[in-house]
């Protein structure tokens, strides 16, 4: 499925030949771990290529240099879909490109919010080259389109990633001012979390109120610490 000249993975036709259309399906090779080294790097580079997948609203399901691409979407001819974008994001994380994954997630979150401000709802898919719904899209579509304003907001906007199996909450703080979340739920716990810049100008003060115990792994500006959250009010200093 790998084309060494075009440096991309293509679907196969029923007779085992490479399909001629470059689509977002090629990025499954990242999340599966099939693409490594130079191949993984080539796939990641396509996400920055404005001629293919690096469009205004990432990531279109059909590359922009393909004959059937529609800048307004037209369903699978270029629309941006939450499940396929999430597949790309998870693949980038798995291949060690967390920064690029966060950039795409936050960009999607911002554009989804802009469309919400204009229309008052979330949509089945979005146009890749305009701040608007796809030209064939159902409104009030929180089935998978809820991934962006929920998952992307928590994991990339706020930096909160839970690991229920280990009873751990990872908090990657990438903000200039205070941020947090009330009534955050994971692994049977409900917690209020607030991070505020320390008065001294360096580091962060973390206030956590929880109805149960868990491990908090927090990091900011290259500093990482592990804290044991107890039931009730907790205060930690990071930095």
Q: What are the start-end ranges of the E strands in the chain?
A: 2-3, 8-9, 160-163, 168-172, 179-186, 189-197, 204-210, 214-220, 223-229, 232-238
Clarify whether residues 83 and 147 are in a common domain. yes
Please give the angle made by the CA atoms of 40, 175 and 235, to the nearest 5 degrees.
Answer: 115
Do both 169 and 137 map to the same domain?
Answer: no
The domain boundary residue, chosen from 157, 174, 193:
157
Considering the domain architecture, whether residues 163 and 146 belong to the same structural domain is answered as: no
Question: Do 140 and 185 have their domain in common?
Answer: no
Answer yes or no: do 146 and 178 share one domain: no
199 and 123 in one domain? Answer: no
Whether 212 and 111 share a structural domain:
no
Q: Give the end of a domain, one of 137, 157, 177.
A: 157
Residues in the chain predicted with pLDDT less than 70, given as ranges, are none
Indicate whether 69 and 141 sit together in one domain: yes
Q: Which pLDDT score is estimated for 234?
A: 98
Torsion of CA 57, 21, 40, 144, to 10 degrees: 50
Residues 48 and 115 in one domain: yes
Question: How far apart are alpha carbons 51 and 45 in whole angstroms?
Answer: 11
Are 199 and 120 members of one domain?
no
pLDDT for 239: 87
Instruction: State the residue range of the domain holding 35.
Output: 1-157
Domains identified in the chain, total number:
2
Same structural domain, 93 and 105? yes
Domain termination site, one of 138, 157, 176: 157
């Amino acid at each position: 499925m790998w084309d060494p000249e075009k440096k991309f993975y293509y679907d196969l036709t029923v007779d085992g030949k490479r399909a001629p259309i470059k689509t977002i399906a090629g990025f499954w090779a990242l999340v599966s771990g099939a693409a490594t080294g130079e191949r993984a790097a080539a796939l990641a580079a396509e996400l920055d290529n404005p001629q293919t997948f690096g469009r205004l609203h990432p990531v279109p399901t059909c590359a922009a240099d393909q004959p059937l691409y529609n800048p307004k979407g037209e369903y699978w001819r270029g629309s941006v879909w939450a499940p396929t974008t999430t597949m790309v994001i998870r693949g980038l994380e798995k291949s060690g490109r967390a920064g690029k994954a966060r950039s795409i997630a936050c960009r999607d979150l911002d554009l989804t919010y802009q469309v919400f401000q204009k229309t008052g709802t979330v949509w089945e898919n979005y146009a890749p080259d305009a701040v608007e719904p796809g030209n064939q899209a159902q409104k009030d579509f929180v089935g998978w389109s809820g991934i962006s304003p929920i998952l992307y907001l928590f994991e990339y906007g706020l930096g909160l990633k839970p690991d229920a199996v280990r009873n751990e909450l990872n908090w990657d703080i990438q903000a200039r001012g205070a941020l947090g979340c009330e009534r955050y739920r994971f692994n049977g716990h409900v917690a209020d979390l607030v991070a505020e810049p320390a008065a001294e100008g360096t580091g962060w003060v973390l206030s956590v109120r929880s109805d149960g115990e868990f491990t908090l792994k927090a990091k900011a500006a290259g500093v990482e610490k592990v804290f044991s959250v107890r039931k009730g009010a907790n205060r930690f200093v990071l930095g």
